[in-house]
Chains A and B, each alone.
Chain A
Amino acid sequence: RKEVEQDPGPFNVPEGATVAFNCTYSNSASQSFFWYRQDCRKEPKLLMSVYSSGNEDGRFTAQLNRASQYISLLIRDSKLSDSATYLCVVNRVGYALNFGKGTSLLVTP
C-alpha cells in the first residue's frame, strides 16, 4: 500500500460547483497533514494545513478522519482559477514529507 493515495482525476466541474477530494494515508502514527496546490509546470505551494478538528479558509474546508486514515478537501463555489493539481501531503517522522500523486481539477465556464 502506498504511503499516500489520491484519486488522480481529472475532476471536471462547472464554475460555482462544489467539489471534494479525498486522500488516504497508510501510517497510523502520522501526525500532520497538508494540502498543497500545484499549477501546471510550477512548484507546489501550501494551500492549507489540516487540523484534527477540521478547518476552513474561505471557500476551502479540510477535514481529517484519523480512524479511517483519510483527509478531505472541499472547495465551494469553484472558480476558474481553482484549476490545478491538489497534492495531499503527510508528515513523516523527522523532517521529511510524503506527497500523494495529486488530484487534477479543471473548472470550466
Chain B
Amino acid sequence: DSGVTQTPKHLITATGQRVTLRCSPRSGDLSVYWYQQSLDQGLQFLIQYYNGEERAKGNILERFSAQQFPDLHSELNLSSLELGDSALYFCASSPRTSGSGELFFGEGSRLTVL
C-alpha cells in the first residue's frame, strides 16, 4: 500500500460526458502528479501540482483540467469524453517539489468510455 488513494477504481461512461477523478496523496506529501496509461501503452505525464500550484504540464488535453485543494487532495476533470480517453489514470505523490523522483503511485482509476 503506497498510501495514495484514488477514487473511483472503475468508471464507465458515455462519449461527451464529464467525469472527475480524485486523488488523496500520502500524508504530508505536497506534490501530486497525474498520468494517463492507455491499453498497452506507456505512462503519459499529464500535470503536476505542488501545494496547490501547477508546477509542470505534460501532454494534457485542453478538455482535461486538474486542481489541488488546500487539503492537498487533487482532482482531474475530463470533459467531452471520447472513446480514446479510455485509459488507466494514475495519481502519484511526492514530498518534494522537485529534484526527487521518488513517487508513490495509487492503484489507478480505470475509465471506460463507451
Same complex: no
Interface residues of A (CB under 8 A from B): none
